Structure 1
Amino acid sequence: MLLRQGSIGPSVTALQRELNAVGYDISVDGDFGNETMRAVRSYQRKQGLVTDGIAGPKTRALLHGQQDARLLSQIDLVDAADRLGVELAAVMAVNEVESRGNGFHFGGPRNGMPIILFERHIMRRQLQHHGINPLPYQRAKPDIVNGSPGGYIGGHREHNRRERAGEIHTAASIESSSWGLFQIMGFHWKRLGYESAENYAADMAINEANQLDAFVRFVEKDRGIHAALRRHDWAGFASRYNGPNYAANDYDTKLAAAYRRHSQGMRLAA
């Protein structure tokens, strides 16, 4: 659950108590207002987390004493903005809206493994790319080799699908999956400067900073996306990053709102 300005209820009350327990002095009223947001931002800044004022699973876990060195930090976002030559608030907006919130599974049978989504129609294409006839596999295993998207089972079980595909061809299975926070497809590995598909997957499994680096490389290689990000053209960015149906999920309006919020937050903190 993401708690942010405007959230109300028992979860906010619990958050306020947790913040007070680590040294803050805010009202415990179940209303996530300016006072709570400032406390969250202050705590995130002190802990080296992304300073977005949103109390998600990472902030709450740290409040509960659960440390994890793999998490994205604010300095990672600062470095990414500097490297791309864009505003920090713009990178923070993309991180908020386009990332999956967590780059890794926490708990469960796939604890510590990067989040992925396996695409069976890409697997069909990549098998052909590697000189393998996909048709026998498509007939026998249509959930992992298919001409149409779909077959998703979500969460940690997507690793089951990828591993089954890997029994056919390891590299193709990696190339047919999107990885980590920003869900960059594995088939981009060569274009983004990785040594192999396997090297890309290994890099995504180290930490969220590496997953952000894959996103930065992706933007650097796409002039249209890079230019749209630089000039805050959120519709242009979303159409290139999310595809032509971006408006159905309001990606552009969410990005614009997140950018405004982060710009304001940084001005207030200055």
Structure 2
Amino acid sequence: MKILRRGDVGAEVRELQRLLRERGATLDLTAEFDAATFAAVQAAQDCYGLVVDGIAGPKTLLALQQGQKRTEHLTAEDLRRAADQLGVPVAVVRAVNEVESRGAGFLPDGRPVILFERHIMYRQLRAAGRDADALARQYPNLVNPQRGGYAGGAGEHMRMAAAFQLDADCARASASWGLFQIMGYHWELLGFASVQDFADAMRAGEGAQLDAFVRFVQADPALWRALRSKQWGTFSRLYNGPDYKANLYDVKLARAFARYDANGKVAA
């Protein structure tokens, strides 16, 4: 099921409304994500300890299906803590979470979302003094000068598990982890004792994954300055690379911030 927002229509919205009704909301099955549906989603998110944004993403839908809180999911308190640490309004963190995160930091089976990068594995093995070229010839899907070979979802854990047989620490360092796709090789920059310590933190919950993002921003003065001054183009370029404009990251961040900022002022 895709991420559902106010204004969406169709069978998936009808299914969302059905789930909301099962959890006590008074709704007609209109198949239109209207104001009543938006309010019901917000109420459900508040009930389940989720970020209250009125957007029905995978975490909201899972909570509705299971009828219970998931302790690993990001909470409003996590966002407030991150905002305090970064010295920015909560609306800034909400915008970044909406645009730059993967939507969910964990797979349905409870393992953190990862993406194993074989070209980083090649680089990490070379730095560790291993014969990366020989390993690339033998295991091209795990060690390769070129990026690629992605399996997606749980398949990425299978790839990393296979790479563990070559070098466990290099494998952990060669994956991006969690909501904000933080690469494992940043473990020292982020203040972790080891790459294993970093990986364990990424398994602890989305709050810990957000904390890694906060550390990542704080470690780069230019990135942090751009975020505090809401220079979305500069922030997007530094965080996503020079191709950020192709995905309109700066435009999406500006729009998301404006929406959350306006909602916060109305709520106040």
TM-score norm. by structure 2 comes to 0.94
Which has the larger displacement, 170-179 or 5-14? 5-14
* 1:133-177 deviations in Å (ceiling 9; x for gaps): 211101111111111111112111111111121111111111110
The 2-side partners of 1:112 and 1:43 are apart by: 21
* Superposition map of 1:15-54 within 5 A: 15-54=16-55
Structure 1: which 5+ runs fail to align?
A: none
The 2-side partners of 1:166 and 1:251 are apart by: 34
Which has the larger displacement, 14-23 or 89-98? 14-23
Determine if contact 2:48/2:68 at 8 Å carries over to the other structure.
no
* 1:188-223 deviations in Å (ceiling 9; x for gaps): 001101111111111111111111111111011011
Q: Which amino acid aligns with 2:95?
A: A
* 1:237-267 deviations in Å (ceiling 9; x for gaps): 1111111111111111111121122122223
Determine if contact 2:49/2:69 at 8 Å carries over to the other structure.
no
1:79 aligns with 2:77: no
* Superposition map of 1:107-126 within 5 A: 111-126=109-124
The 2-side partners of 1:14 and 1:142 are apart by: 43
The 2-side partners of 1:45 and 1:267 are apart by: 19
Structure 2: which 5+ runs fail to align?
A: none
* 1:87-142 deviations in Å (ceiling 9; x for gaps): 11111111111111111110xxxx21111001111111111221212111011111
Q: Which amino acid aligns with 2:30?
A: D
Q: Secondary structure at the residue paired with 1:245?
A: helix
1:91 to 79, 90, 93: 93
Q: Which amino acid aligns with 1:61?
A: L
Aligned to 1:68: 70
The 2-side partners of 1:14 and 1:58 are apart by: 15
How many equivalent pairs are there? 266
The 2-side partners of 1:112 and 1:14 are apart by: 24
Flag as ranges the 4+ runs of structure 1 deviating above 3 A: 20-28
The 2-side partners of 1:215 and 1:62 are apart by: 24
The 2-side partners of 1:148 and 1:21 are apart by: 49
Which has the larger displacement, 141-150 or 9-18? 9-18
2:182 to 184, 204, 211: 184
The 1-side partners of 2:148 and 2:113 are apart by: 17
The 1-side partners of 2:240 and 2:52 are apart by: 25
The 2-side partners of 1:21 and 1:141 are apart by: 49
The 2-side partners of 1:185 and 1:242 are apart by: 13
The 2-side partners of 1:15 and 1:152 are apart by: 31
The 2-side partners of 1:46 and 1:67 are apart by: 8
Q: Secondary structure at the residue paired with 2:31?
A: coil
Give the deviation of 1:66 after TM superposition.
4.2
Aligned to 2:264: 266
Identity %: 48
Which has the larger displacement, 128-137 or 179-188? 128-137
Which has the larger displacement, 10-19 or 136-145? 10-19
Determine if contact 1:3/1:56 at 8 Å carries over to the other structure.
yes
